[in-house]
Amino acid sequence: GMGTPKPDRGDGHIRLTDVTKPSLRYFPAPGKKQPVPAVILCPGGGYVSLVTTKMTPIAEWLNSHGISAFILIYRVPKKRKDAFEDIQRAVRIVRSRASEWNIDPRRIGVMGSSAGGHLAARVSTGFDLKTYEEVDKLDAVSCKPDFTVLLYPAYMNKGKELSTDFSVSNKISPTLIVSAKDDKGFFPGSPIYAEALKEAGASIRVHFFEKGGHGFSLRPQQHPLSTWPELCVQWLRDKDIIKEAEQENTPNKN
């Protein structure tokens, strides 16, 4: 089905599991005439469940910058292969329906947190891997994201080596990684992945903070990590994903 909420852990977040039918939740950027960028958001949850409630504020924040967003409800639990198919298919759906949804097909990105960061990196590096038999003609459309944002990604490394889930090359689209060094379990994977992209000649920017742990969203924090959304917007401007001319009629700048 579309997913069953797990019992509340008391942190106010909803975790979906038993997802057998993937879906996209659409958050259109308000009131835009010209085609807008779009981001497909991959929630975390250890490939066991999906913490969708952390992605809703991120979708709304993207909307405030004139970017449409989709939350991908990918298949869980323990379905990494299926999840990879789901993100490939999601990029193809959004790109093939771009004109219908007023999206620029050359500015479609992915953004993932934790396990969702691993998934976003998989489609970013494995866009030419054929993971499933073609369902229909839109599977001829490229599933390569135009940009990638990884928030505290998980499962990026095996010890000191890059995970074999990724084959890196200079064809990978520009990537931004935001992680905290006190995320003991997963932080080491971020510099390992970043270094591999750099060596391959891909465009990579990192923001590594001393404190922040694992699982931050747009939660206001007392330490420098809380600047990550502005740093992300700056990077999107530098990469011409957010174009200044389009921003003038966006009421909300932050």
The percent of residues in the chain predicted with pLDDT above 90, rounded, is 76
More confident residue, 188 or 4: 188
| Predicted pLDDT at 254 | 46
Place of tokens 């064809």: 171
In contact, 166 and 123? CB cutoff 8 Å: no
**Cα separation, 244 vs 36, whole angstroms:** 12
**Cα separation, 142 vs 134, whole angstroms:** 12
Band (74; pLDDT cuts 50, 70, 90): very high
Residues in the chain: 254
Tens digit of each residue's pLDDT (9 = 90 or more) over 196-214: 999 999 999 999 999 999 9
Predicted structure pTM score: 0.92
Residue 250 has pLDDT above 90, yes or no: no
Residue 47 has pLDDT above 90, yes or no: yes
The one-letter amino acid code at 155 reads Y
Mean pLDDT of 74-89: 95
In contact, 69 and 123? CB cutoff 8 Å: no
Residue 55 has pLDDT above 60, yes or no: yes
Mean pLDDT of 190-194: 99
| Predicted pLDDT at 253 | 46
DSSP symbols for 186-251:
TTTHHHHHHHHHHHHT--EEEEEESS--S---S---SSGGGGHHHHHHHHHHHTTSS-HHHHTT-S
The percent of residues in the chain predicted with pLDDT above 70, rounded, is 92
Residue 251 has pLDDT above 60, yes or no: no
Tens digit of each residue's pLDDT (9 = 90 or more) over 25-40: 999 999 878 999 999 9
Residue 248 has pLDDT above 70, yes or no: no
- Domains of the chain: residue spans and CATH: 2-243 (3.40.50.1820)
